[in-house]
Chains A and B, each alone.
Chain A
Amino acid sequence: MLPMSCTPNPHLIFATNFSEACHAAIPMVANWVDSLQARLTLLHVHPRGNGVQAARALDSFFAESAHYPNSERQLLSGPAATGIAEFCRQHPQAMLVMPPSVRSYLPRPLHVSLRTEVLRTAATPMLTMLPDTRAIATQATAGGHVACWITGEESHLEHVREAAALAQQRGAELHLLFVLPEVSEGLMIEALYSNRPLAEPAAIRMLDDIAARIGNGVRVRVHLGTGSARPTLARLLRDSRANVLVVDRDTTVRKQLLRHSFASALRDSPCLLVSVPSGNAAERDRLPPPNARKPLDRLAAPVASLHRQRFATKSLGAWLALDGTGNGWRSPLPA
């Protein structure tokens, strides 16, 4: 499966319930349509028997998109999560745009997030954001910084491919982010059942290998931080000045006792989130075993990517020299 951003005219599916959050997301969607020259589908799934009112509301929502070169409105009836997921299944090359619901600040013990339900089942990447969407409306249409969070627990590299494609499409830099855990007694137990790198050399080796697989024409930077995921990730995102963060779907959705919820580590993310589901098993790019002692067999890197390869290696070497405290990576490169 090609990453959405690699297709000639990417397809954005904007699922809306006409909330204020959806209205607030319109400038961001307009930016994406322009920068990617994307097709736009406004999708609304309404309860059965409410069709006339829903059609009228859909016509009035994001009215300016009636002038967009490739835009359409799609009205479906039935359960919202199922309807959106089914529509996405019919358009596997698209990207679903789904803003969060407006925060009510009232206790909702039985509330099940529609966004999380759709995220869990949709076959396409999902673009979403925090409730405070105003900060992201003014982002540049081109250039900028795309970040990709690698937890080390992923079984595939679809999200890295998507991030690289997006960075290439927008002429942006790609930042690979990795958060190492604090050293504690618990790490010894985690090492028994987890494959993710628990020490800096293993993390560097894994990121180096991932960077080597990224195609030509993308400038890659690597950021490492140590600490708990939520604040460290927020700090790395600030340092990288990323506009967009690409993550694996299994990282975004966390299973709780009776329901699934949005990962708390991403709640402080100051930028847009793209959550990428895994593709077909046959097409997956397997991650290298991060704790492998032997050097990994690598494919011969094309000439155009050698510069980037050296660049990444130099950065990581500089990191070792610069930050011996283990508190994080300080970029040795000019901003």
Chain B
Amino acid sequence: MILRESVPLQRLWPRTFKRLMLLLAFDCAVAGLYVFLDWHWLAFDALPIGTLGSALAIFLAFRANAAYGRWWEARQLWGQLVNTSRALARQALTALDVDPDNARHTALRSGIVLNQVAFVHALRCHLRRQNPFPELVGVLGHAEAEALRGYGNIPNALTLRVAEQLQEARALGLIDSLRWSALDGSLTTLANIQGACERIKNTPLPRQFSFLPRMLVDAFCWLIPLALVSGLGIFTPIASALISFTLIAIDTASQAIEDPFENTVNDTPMTALSRGIELTLREMLDQRKALPEVRAIDGFVY
């Protein structure tokens, strides 16, 4: 996620320069032919092109809205994950009738919270297609992390493991049916959050929404110099390039945010959020491990 006030233009340049350079060459050719060779038939009436511009604006706004909708939904889901993780940890620490002198009871209670920490990290890795095991070894220990290797969907396996721990707590008489039901509800919420994140990850924006605006932007940019050249003459490339850059930049920016789990600067800041969740949950466990917060680097936070 980008936190800095201004986005440097060189960030847009790699994605836009090929289209812009081609258009600039065309603009210069049109202006040169019109001014120096008197090819006045090149000039179009600006009115129909203006109408096309209005239609294009609707398409672009629609596409930008759809992309932003995905990005914002992803952020909301991770906000919900923060809340649910805290709620589950609180429930585990207060709803279980644990005998503080019984090591098995206390291990069961803290195990639920640590599995929740592992779930958050595993979900982040799952969405970014990253290997979670070196991290899980640090959170859960070697044996417990290795036991997860057989699973394809690690976060789901971790929710199952917490559910099994709750079942064990119920068998030990640490929890009644009513409280078990509340805790299981939190696990269902976690499963829903994971499912929604996977939906965003695995379902791209409909290709028509990407292709049509892009094609229309290109067509419009090729027509602009023809509409401007009779009025601006040799200065046509300047105005045309500026208009083209604006439209291409909007198109590119919405492309960049449509996939919020791709390990780029436009991502939902999952690393920072998962570290925040871990710090809070460890505080609740009274395990103040010396982990620093994840801060923005040069205005970018991951």
* A residues with CB within 8 A of B: 18, 20, 23-24, 26-27, 30-31, 33-34, 56-57, 59-61, 63-69, 102-106, 134, 137-138, 141
Query: Is the pair A30, B264 in contact by a Cβ cutoff of 8 Å?
Result: no
Tell me the bound Cα distance from A137 to B291 in angstroms.
Answer: 26
Tell me the bound Cα distance from A240 to B18 in angstroms.
Answer: 32
Closest chain B residue, CB of each to CB of A37: B134
Number of interface residues of B (CB under 8 A): 36
Tell me the bound Cα distance from A63 to B275 in angstroms.
Answer: 8
Query: Is the pair A67, B137 in contact by a Cβ cutoff of 8 Å?
Result: yes
Tell me the bound Cα distance from A60 to B291 in angstroms.
Answer: 10
Q: How many pairs of A and B residues are in contact by the CB < 8 Å rule?
A: 89
Q: Of B130, B139, B271, B295, which is within 8 A of A30 by CB?
A: B130
Return the 10 tightest CB-CB contacts between A and B, nearest first: A67-B138, A27-B130, A59-B292, A30-B131, A67-B135, A57-B297, A68-B134, A63-B294, A60-B295, A60-B294
Is B17 part of the contact surface with A, judged by Cβ < 8 Å?
yes
Query: Is the pair A34, B134 in contact by a Cβ cutoff of 8 Å?
Result: yes
Can you name 13 A-B residue pairings with CB atoms under 8 Å? A27-B129, A27-B263, A31-B131, A34-B131, A59-B295, A60-B292, A60-B301, A63-B292, A64-B271, A66-B138, A68-B134, A69-B137, A102-B14
Closest chain A residue, CB of each to CB of B298: A18
Query: Is the pair B134, A30 in contact by a Cβ cutoff of 8 Å?
Result: yes
Tell me the bound Cα distance from A67 to B142 in angstroms.
Answer: 12
Query: Is the pair A106, B134 in contact by a Cβ cutoff of 8 Å?
Result: no
Tell me the bound Cα distance from A23 to B301 in angstroms.
Answer: 11
Is B109 part of the contact surface with A, judged by Cβ < 8 Å?
no
Query: Is the pair B265, A20 in contact by a Cβ cutoff of 8 Å?
Result: yes
Tell me the bound Cα distance from A24 to B262 in angstroms.
Answer: 9
* B residues with CB within 8 A of A: 10, 13-14, 17, 121, 125, 128-131, 133-139, 142, 262-265, 271-272, 275, 291-298, 300-302
Query: Is the pair B131, A24 in contact by a Cβ cutoff of 8 Å?
Result: no
Closest chain B residue, CB of each to CB of A62: B271
Q: Of B14, B142, B301, which is within 8 A of A104 by CB?
A: B14
Closest chain A residue, CB of each to CB of B128: A27
Closest chain A residue, CB of each to CB of B121: A64
Tell me the bound Cα distance from A325 to B295 in angstroms.
Answer: 60
Tell me the bound Cα distance from A80 to B82 in angstroms.
Answer: 39
Residues of A within 8 A of B275 (CB): 63
How distant is B293 from chain A, measured CB to nearest CB, in Å? 8
Tell me the bound Cα distance from A141 to B130 in angstroms.
Answer: 11
Residues of A within 8 A of B301 (CB): 60
Tell me the bound Cα distance from A46 to B134 in angstroms.
Answer: 28
Tell which of A56, A65, A66, A103 has the most Cβ of chain B within 10 Å: A66
Residues of B within 8 A of A68 (CB): 134-135, 137-138
How distant is A99 from chain B, measured CB to nearest CB, in Å? 13
How distant is A69 from chain B, measured CB to nearest CB, in Å? 5
How distant is A145 from chain B, measured CB to nearest CB, in Å? 19
Residues of A within 8 A of B296 (CB): 60
Instruction: With A67-B135, A137-B130 as known contacts, state yes or no: A56 contacts B263, CB within 8 Å.
Output: no
How distant is A50 from chain B, measured CB to nearest CB, in Å? 12
